[in-house]
């Protein structure tokens, strides 16, 4: 899928690298893998050094044992993984583009580390805001936020019974997409990953952390703002775009915002890779 890119592993984090120029780190979301960027990364690599990594717990990256405080799956831990990876590759400063969980990792990274040239957040609102302002519409649409946080092994056992049905219901439900929107090779990689019981368990732990330790971290940082240029991209047909003024939710958390609505739903990267790439290149060239 990534012709001309090299595969690597650093401290348990699987990644691919290609291109030349300023570094750009691309982080996927749930329930996907670094394969999300297969149609975007080659276009960015014409002008940038592109690194696509699997978050801990996902894809081919390591899946540590969780602890009662959920710290191993906090966005803080995930962010530290990526800072360490980029440093090992020789990049002290870099651009970061994150979708879904990757975007939440990027937001935490921007608060914890002074190393970003720019930040792009794809189709999310702040985690703390989402929980604090939860209403019936959000709870019914983003039901997985509450299901996956249930104590083990309840959600894991239900998911394991038919992982393709479960995860594809996410892509086609709140994702506002059709299976035909997904490249066949990329979808095959998503399925390969989510059929692994270890990833099923790790993804639940990711959401358990988001509902506990991540909220503690976010409350501690209320009032702090990301200082680097920040692009807010969102699908106009997706749940976030329908329920919220997405850029407005970031005004008190980011000092320098550019808004970019995109056609499609939550998975607009899969649905509109060419248009997504063009928007990213336009923003990165000015950041």
Nearest to 74 by CA among 36, 112, 37: 112
Catalytic residues: 100, 266
- Whole-angstrom Cα distance, residue 157 to residue 54? 24
Instruction: Please tell me the distance from the alpha carbon of residue 105 to that of residue 9, in angstroms, as a whole number.
Output: 19
**Does residue 2 sit in helix, strand or coil?**
coil
* Letter string b/e over residues 122-153, b meaning 16 or more CB atoms within 10 A of that residue's CB: bbbbbbbbbbeeeeeebeebbebbeebbeeee
Q: If you write DSSP's letter for every residue of 24-67 in order, what string do you get?
A: EEEE--TT--GGGGTTTHHHHTTTSEEEEEPPTTSTTS--PPP-
- Separation CA 287–CA 283 (nearest Å): 6
**Beta-bridge partner residues of 10:** 13
> If DSSP codes are grouped into helix, strand and coil, which group holds residue 114?
coil
Q: What is the dihedral of CA 53, 59, 60, 64, to 10 degrees?
A: 100
Residue 95 Cα distances to 90, 109, 256, 285, angstroms: 14, 11, 15, 11
């Amino acid at each position: 899928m990534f012709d001309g890119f090299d595969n690597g592993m650093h401290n348990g984090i699987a990644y691919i690298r290609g291109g030349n120029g300023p570094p750009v780190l691309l982080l996927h979301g749930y329930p996907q893998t670094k394969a999300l960027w297969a149609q975007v990364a080659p276009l960015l690599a014409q002008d940038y050094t592109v690194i696509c990594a699997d978050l801990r717990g996902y894809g081919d990256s390591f899946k540590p044992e969780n602890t009662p405080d959920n710290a191993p799956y906090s966005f803080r831990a995930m962010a530290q993984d990526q800072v360490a990876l980029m440093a090992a590759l020789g990049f002290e400063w870099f651009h970061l583009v994150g979708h879904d969980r990757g975007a939440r990792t990027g937001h935490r990274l921007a608060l914890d580390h002074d190393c970003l040239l720019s930040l792009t957040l794809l189709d999310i609102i702040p985690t703390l805001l989402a929980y604090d302002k939860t209403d019936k519409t959000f709870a019914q649409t983003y039901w997985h936020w509450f299901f996956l946080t249930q104590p083990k092994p309840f959600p894991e056992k239900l998911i394991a019974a038919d992982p393709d049905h479960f995860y594809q219901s996410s892509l086609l439900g709140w994702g506002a997409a059709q299976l035909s929107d997904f490249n066949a090779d990329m979808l095959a990689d998503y399925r390969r990953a989510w059929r692994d019981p270890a990833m099923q368990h790790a993804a639940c732990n990711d959401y358990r952390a988001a509902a506990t330790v991540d909220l503690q971290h976010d409350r501690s940082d209320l009032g702090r703002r990301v200082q680097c240029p920040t692009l807010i991209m969102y699908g106009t047909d997706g749940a976030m775009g329908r329920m919220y003024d997405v850029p407005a939710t970031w005004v008190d958390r980011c000092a320098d915002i550019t808004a970019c609505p995109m056609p499609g739903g939550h998975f607009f990267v899969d649905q509109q890779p060419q248009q997504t790439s063009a928007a990213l290149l336009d923003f990165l060239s000015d950041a």
